[in-house]
Structure 1
Amino acid sequence: MLELTEWLFLVLMITQFIFGNLGNGFLALVSGSSWFKSKRISLSDFIITNLALSRIILLWIIFIDGVLLVLFSNVRDSGVLIQLTDIFWTFGNHLSISLITCLGVLYCLKIASFSHPLFLWLKWRVSRVVVWMLLGTLLLSFACTISLINEFKLYFAFSGIDSTENMTEYFRKKRHEYDLMHVLGTLWNLPPMTVSLITYFLLLLSLRRHTRQMQQNSIGSRDKSSEAHRRAIGIIFSFFLLFLLYLVSFLIFSLGRFVPQSKMSVMIGEVITMFYLVGHSFVFILGNKKLKQAFLAMLLCKSGPLQPGST
């Protein structure tokens, strides 16, 4: 018989799972519509489409893991299933965060205005720079996933130990080494997060300079360039806020690995993580003019072709 907290957990998971698939599915459909029609797609739409698809995969991973946690905990704790979950989650999670970074760099190079030679060089080659970043992102995601081999070796080491009284301390040591290595694996996300932080501050600085120029020339601060700055900043800043929430959930989940009876911490962590994946998709929709128009048209049941999103 399920407890009240488990029922509440399942209701929250199912609700967020539905909204997450709808939101990210809408993003993928609208952003990728030109790809299906004309076999051509802008770089920003390409990134948003793949970002939405990666998050749909992450939503399915968390949802399946949550259901197994409540209803089939013995099956979930089996070694093979844990490893498969870790592989798909690690690759998809790192790819999702890196795609956000690539999108932030694209927005920054297209919108921000600086006279520094290096920035101008990057701005003139923005498409090439972002394409190379996407390739690097894919390679880093694979490298991050391959690094799990050491974790799996440790897992097999302590899972094969006979937990007699003489081996109990050794078993605990190996288990803690495995959990610590799992937590340290998040350091792979540090490079893309650092780049995202840099692009955010560059956009803020560019907006500040642009606003001052408009004020000196007695021009209103609501011009197209200022609006583009604000939309890009809003998307990146919301990502940081939601990602901080995600880090909190990961901290809760990670601490649960080092204490007994960690089921509650895992449930809390998974609910918050799913909220991060769901929330940012709707931030994208509301922060993008064409996506917002298509979303409102869908809600109002208006007919008409879907338009690809842009900044």
Structure 2
Amino acid sequence: MNGDHMASGHLVVDKKVLTLILIVLLLCLTTVISNGFIIVALGTEWLQRRTLSPYNKLLVSLGASRFCLQWVMIGKSTYFFLYPMAFLYDPVMQFLSLLWDFLNTATIWCCTGLSFFYCVKIANFTHPVFLWLKGKVSRWVPWILLSSVGFSGFTTILFFTGNHVLYQHYLRDKCQYWNATGDSMRSFENSYFFFLKISVFSIPFGIFLVFIVILLISLGRHMKKTLLTLSGFQDAPVQAHVRALLSIIFFALLFTSSFLVLILNNGSRFPLHEAKSWVWNIVSHLCMAVHSLFLLLNNPKLRATVERSCSPRCEVS
């Protein structure tokens, strides 16, 4: 940290970084609104009917984790803006990082569970094992959600342990903030956090890639059959099946790009005062915001609810 960013002993947030922070906050609010709508709509249906379809259970769980995750990001960004000299691993940041690690991991595993549900329900295979999975997957949704919580909790403990070790190292050596991320602490970050995040996040990402391949094979076979008969291509169920598979591919592209950005951001470990760190955050949160809107508008019930809620306002105006 050079003297250009220091003024009267206080760290000054660069204007470029401040602009990027505001963009991140705007994307977070967009994701909060879309996922909040999903939670309210599906939560109301759950309370009224006392039941919810397995797919909607996965969707509302993903929406809830993303909703809370965005508020944690808003809290971290606000805290950094108000206290730019605060150490990255001080107690407040440790608490926010604890919430972030848990909710972020839960979001990734919920996405993986949702892609598994998509893959089994939509892909068209006649293998006995696949048919057995198709009949059992709806009953497995509660266990999928419970496993997501368990994996997230275990991962959070590992991340919290590393954060606590760094903070104790910081207190023991009485480091200044702008020197706190150098030498031995930087070495610990690279050796512990990078490999931890790569190993933890590569598991769901690898599973997700398998689902992508299965869906692409299923789509190719289905398109080949429908192209053989033009009348079959005009059939409504066939068109719905193709649209669903194309939606899954779009879902896969968004999740893949978001995950790759996450890996690059975690591997780089840029200080929060550098613009590069916030650029990666913008890309990641943009993918999340777009995907949340896609899930909202791609669900017929949710889309109809959005149209009903918007129509009275249009009539009044």
- TM-score using structure 2 length: 0.82
Shift of 1:70: 2.4
Partner of 2:131: 120
Mean Cα displacement is larger for which, 193-202 or 40-49?
A: 193-202
What SS does the corresponding residue of 2:173 show, helix, strand or coil? coil
Counterpart among 38, 57, 63 of residue 52 in structure 1: 63
How has the CA–CA distance of structure 1 residues 301 and 199 changed in structure 2, closer, same or farther, with 3 Å as cutoff? farther
How has the CA–CA distance of structure 1 residues 197 and 2 changed in structure 2, closer, same or farther, with 3 Å as cutoff? closer
Q: Deviations over 1:59-112 (max 9, x none)?
A: 111111112222311346352122212211111111111111111111222222
Partner of 1:230: 243
Shift of 1:210: 2.1
Mean Cα displacement is larger for which, 87-96 or 284-293?
A: 284-293
Partner of 2:225: 213
- TM-score using structure 1 length: 0.83
Distance 1:285 1:89 in 2: 23
Mapping of 1:80-119 within 5 angstroms? Answer: 80-119=91-130
Q: Which amino acid aligns with 1:273?
A: S
What SS does the corresponding residue of 1:126 show, helix, strand or coil? helix
Distance 2:225 2:313 in 1: 41
Partner of 2:253: 240
Distance 1:123 1:152 in 2: 42
Distance 1:31 1:25 in 2: 10
Shift of 1:217: 4.2
Q: Is the contact made by 1:211 and 1:226 (CA closer than 8 Å) also made in structure 2? A: no
Distance 1:24 1:202 in 2: 28
Mapping of 1:51-70 within 5 angstroms? Answer: 51-70=62-81
Distance 1:89 1:252 in 2: 14
Distance 1:249 1:155 in 2: 22
Q: Is the contact made by 1:66 and 1:270 (CA closer than 8 Å) also made in structure 2? A: no
Counterpart among 253, 277, 280 of residue 266 in structure 1: 277
Partner of 1:277: 288
Distance 2:311 2:247 in 1: 26
Alignment pair present for 1:129 and 2:157: no
Partner of 1:306: none
How has the CA–CA distance of structure 1 residues 225 and 33 changed in structure 2, closer, same or farther, with 3 Å as cutoff? farther
Distance 1:114 1:272 in 2: 36
Partner of 2:206: 194
Q: Deviations over 1:188-220 (max 9, x none)?
A: 122222222222222222222222223334434
Shift of 1:252: 4.1
Structure 1 unmatched ranges of 5 or more: 304-311
Q: Deviations over 1:110-140 (max 9, x none)?
A: 2222121211111121223333322222211
Mapping of 1:135-154 within 5 angstroms? Answer: 135-154=146-165
Q: Is the contact made by 2:89 and 2:163 (CA closer than 8 Å) also made in structure 1? A: no
What SS does the corresponding residue of 1:147 show, helix, strand or coil? helix
How has the CA–CA distance of structure 1 residues 271 and 205 changed in structure 2, closer, same or farther, with 3 Å as cutoff? same
How has the CA–CA distance of structure 1 residues 44 and 261 changed in structure 2, closer, same or farther, with 3 Å as cutoff? closer
Distance 1:91 1:206 in 2: 34
Counterpart among 22, 26, 30 of residue 37 in structure 2: 26
Q: Is the contact made by 1:99 and 1:134 (CA closer than 8 Å) also made in structure 2? A: yes
Distance 2:259 2:208 in 1: 16
Shift of 1:282: 0.5
Q: Is the contact made by 1:27 and 1:49 (CA closer than 8 Å) also made in structure 2? A: yes
What SS does the corresponding residue of 1:73 show, helix, strand or coil? coil
Q: Is the contact made by 1:17 and 1:59 (CA closer than 8 Å) also made in structure 2? A: yes
Q: Deviations over 1:133-188 (max 9, x none)?
A: 22222211111112124413531452134369xxx99x722432134422223221
Structure 2 unmatched ranges of 5 or more: 1-11
Partner of 2:4: none
Q: Which amino acid aligns with 1:211?
A: M
Q: Deviations over 1:228-273 (max 9, x none)?
A: 343344245334335424533652464244xx78432232233233
Partner of 2:7: none
Partner of 1:297: 308
Distance 1:137 1:66 in 2: 26
